[in-house]
Amino acid sequence: MAITVDLLDAPFNPGRFVGPFTDAHPGLGGVCTFVGEVRSDDDTVEALELLHYERMTRPGMEELAAQTVRRFELMGLLMVHRVGVMYPGEPIVLVSACARHRRGAIDAVDFAMDHLKSRSWFWKREKRAGEWHWIEPREQDHADLARWGD
């Protein structure tokens, strides 16, 4: 079982991570990958910034990864997250899970993303019309997290 957690401060190509991760798990029955990107629903988001305190962020992400692997009996988990300033279309997060069966991989990625979105160790702000505004998790983010019962 392999767990990889990485924080990056520059743009990344998700394929550069997923191919080697999948290759490192021969015999897997399913792999599920989610890539989240900076979006601009109405073309008004100019940038997104994620601030963090690495001495808190990395251990939190590592514990979430270990919990996810245990809960879903994974063969491996890959979690990559950007920090710093990002622009629309750039990847923010990559979570990939390998399991003997597809359901474990799919559920693991969903679980990890719900936790990263609502209980993460990042402070987020968006830039719109030249002004920065702090972002808090939405009600839907909290509802998504609550369904896991932890």
CATH number at 42 reads 3.90.1170.40
Print the domain residue range for 133: 2-12+26-143
Q: Are strands 131-135 and 76-82 parallel, antiparallel or unpaired?
A: unpaired
User: Starting from the edge strand earliest in sequence, which strands make up the sheet with 30-37, in order?
Assistant: 2-8, 76-82, 91-99, 30-37
Query: What global pTM score does this model have?
Result: 0.93
Tell me if 36 is assigned to some domain.
yes
pLDDT tens sequence across 21-72: 998 888 888 999 999 999 877 778 999 999 999 899 999 999 999 999 999 9
Tell me if 19 is assigned to some domain.
no
Tell me if 150 is assigned to some domain.
no
CA distance 40 to 45: 5
Q: How many domains does the chain have?
A: 1
